[in-house]
Amino acid sequence: MIVLSTHACRDASRDAAPLEPIREAGIPTLRELAVRPLTLAGPASAAEREFSGLDWYKDELVLLPQYPALGGGVGELYALSRADILARVDGELDAPLSPRVVEMATDEVRARVSGFQGFEAIAFAGDQVYLTIETGWDARGYLVVGRAREQGGSLAAIELDAASLTELPTPARIFNSGFEALTVVPGGALALYERNAPPRTPEPRALRVMATGQAEAPVTAPVATPMAAIEYRVTDASSLDAAGRFWVINYRFPASEDGVSPIIDALARARGRGPTHAGSTVVERLLELRYDPDAGVTLTDAAPIVLELAGASRNWEGLARLDGRGFLLVTDKFPGTELGYVPVDMSKPGAR
């Protein structure tokens, strides 16, 4: 989530315009990948939905709005079938994708969270689901567990267990920052804080939490694990592969930066950046990480997947793998609701 004033929005738009190239000798040039738009239809296409997370429930891609109960009533998430997504990606379907509604009542959980600022991430473990919540000025993070309910073989609703609501101790107290990424790991779910670089976050760490299924203690106490120091925001995570590797969105939105994060970071200097990034202060890339119960979360040696910039900054907030063929991403409301596909042949040497 990014909170901006009208003035800041104008600044962001201006920053997305062509700039003088930012040059620094010795930085490798990486090939950028264009994001292919997958147009949405219906209520899910409105920018006000402000999507903040993606994950698969069986063969359905679930899109999590930051405010599922926008406007009151029962909250709404949205689901797309894998078959429809693949048909669109393969050119067999030309029409916009029309997600169907998945209900999720949020009133009881919202009432227990002072300064509630929406849901930020979602991850399924079978029919169990983990979600994170962010608050406002006091910048606290929470996790809540729910259960998926089906009707006719499809996901119909998510039932939240308000008693499972657990505060996630943040490694830093930074306004408008929380646990924006979740992924399922052996023994529970791993929540990743969005700011993981010193000096603002002196000791980056992720938190592991496990649902117990017990009424008196629905989740275990969060367990801290070391986290790689990464500049810019980490806004969502994919699922793990068999080796514990997963990908995260790593995004620099200039209008929300406070002058601390560098335009060119150590990772870009070491591993490269793309041509469009050389003329902008925006960074849109995917990084591969690895989770190990003992070593924590580390960067792998895989090259970053650098996205080709396209006009206004795109606040990518959701990430999911697509059958070894690449990734699906979704924005919040900047610059609008955009679902996109990044083709990556994960079978090629060096790709994962």
CA atoms within 13 A on the CB side of 97: 29
Q: Are the C-beta atoms of residues 231 and 267 closer than 8 Å to each other? A: yes
To the nearest 5 percent, what fractions of the chain are helix, strand and coil?
Answer: 10, 45, 45
- Cα separation, 216 vs 86, in Å, equals 43
pTM listed for this prediction: 0.93
Q: Are the C-beta atoms of residues 212 and 206 closer than 8 Å to each other? A: no
The domains located in the chain, with CATH, are 28-341 (2.115.10)
- pLDDT in 10s for each residue of the chain, 352 residues: 655 433 333 334 334 444 445 678 789 999 999 999 999 999 999 999 999 999 999 999 999 999 999 878 899 999 999 999 999 999 999 999 999 999 999 999 999 999 999 999 999 999 999 999 999 778 899 999 999 999 999 999 999 999 999 999 999 988 889 999 999 999 899 999 999 999 999 999 999 999 998 988 999 999 999 999 999 999 999 999 999 999 999 999 887 665 678 889 999 999 999 999 988 889 999 999 999 999 999 999 999 999 999 988 899 999 999 999 999 999 999 899 999 999 998 876 566 6
Question: 179-191 burial string, b = 16+ CB within 10 Å, else e?
Answer: bbbbbbbeebbbb
Residue 301: how many other CB atoms lie within 10 Å: 8
Sign of CA dihedral 300, 195, 330, 207: positive
- Give φ, ψ of 230 to 5 degrees: -130, 125
